[in-house]
Amino acid sequence: MTALQIPSTALITGASGGIGEEIARQLAARGAHLILVARSEDKLQALAQELSAQHGVQSHVIALDLTRPEAGAELEREIAARGLQVDILVNNAGFGGFSEFWEQDAGEIGRMIAVNIAALTDLTRRFLPGMVQRGRGRVLNVASTAAFMPGPMMAVYYATKAYVLSFSEAVNEELRGRGVGVSALCPGPVETGFQAAADLNQSKLLSGPNRVAMLSAAQVAQIGVDAMLRGQAVAVAGRINQLQVLAPRFLPRAAMTRLIAGIQARREG
């Protein structure tokens, strides 16, 4: 697959902070026009004004809650009404939660599945046909190293990311030879507000002497954008993470699950 040429117009969900914001910065620096989507309109407007002034690109803001079932249809209508065309779709919006599954809030579980799976699938289905018709385009789905293994204490989150990885790989193969590609970006823990929102500070994974080393959101965004533009199907961010995702190939599944349970256990004190 040939590399996608910029300028293009990129739709980025979850663009108000973290990896989504950094992907917007990466694409704007390469000359891509932006459609920024998140719930926080003020943050989006500030980012849009900054990137337009700095890089001379058009930046459009659409404040939207992707947990709502009708959000995808509303977004598609708004983009059409503005006369815009989506050449790059970045499904970055998502969130997690840290607790035993049976104690996790049922509403939180529903919202997590709605954003991490349903919205991602819906938006891909809405904007991918136009890319196929034009014979050019890219989809970047932000998955996780969690996609490669079961995750006790974050059971639903890990499962949603396994869906994202499997879905991305399958659709990318369906698109072979059509000038369009789907990439899955798989970072490990990243220095963003995600950890606090997911209560991950309770976990041994991110605290104490065994705290894992984290890449910055900017580093992960660059890896993801580079991989997407060159048509790479799966990009695991970071050398250590690339080694870690190989573990399920060598450990029995039960042993892998027990290992993750120990790593992600609640920290004492």
Which residue ranges form the domains of the chain, and what is each CATH number? 9-263 (3.40.50.720)
pLDDT at 1 exceeding the cut of 60: yes
pLDDT at 58: 97
pLDDT at 266 exceeding the cut of 90: no
- Inter-residue long-range contacts of 216-220, CB under 8 Å, 24+ positions, other chains counted: 216/190, 216/191, 217/18, 217/19, 217/21, 217/22, 217/190, 217/191, 217/192, 218/22, 218/25, 220/19, 220/22, 220/185, 220/187, 220/190
Rounded-to-10 torsion of CA 193, 197, 202, 208 = 0
pLDDT at 96: 94
Residues taking part in catalysis:
157
pLDDT at 39 exceeding the cut of 70: yes
pLDDT at 238: 85
Average pLDDT over every residue of 133-139: 97
Percent of the chain residues topping a pLDDT of 70: 90
Dump pLDDT digits (tens) for 167-207: 999 999 999 999 999 999 999 998 765 555 545 555 555 55
- Grouping H, G, I as helix, E, B as strand and the rest as coil, residue 203 is strand
pLDDT at 194: 53
pLDDT band at 209, cuts 50/70/90? Answer: very low
> Is 156 in contact with 183 (CB distance < 8 Å)?
no
CA distance 184 to 235: 6
pLDDT at 247: 82
pLDDT at 267: 60
> Is 38 in contact with 13 (CB distance < 8 Å)?
yes
pLDDT at 121: 98
- Grouping H, G, I as helix, E, B as strand and the rest as coil, residue 184 is strand
Q: Where are the beta strands (DSSP E) in the chain?
A: 9-13, 33-38, 59-63, 88-91, 137-142, 180-186, 190-191, 215-216, 234-236
Dump pLDDT digits (tens) for 243-252: 888 887 888 8
Beta-bridged to residue 140, according to DSSP, are: 90, 183
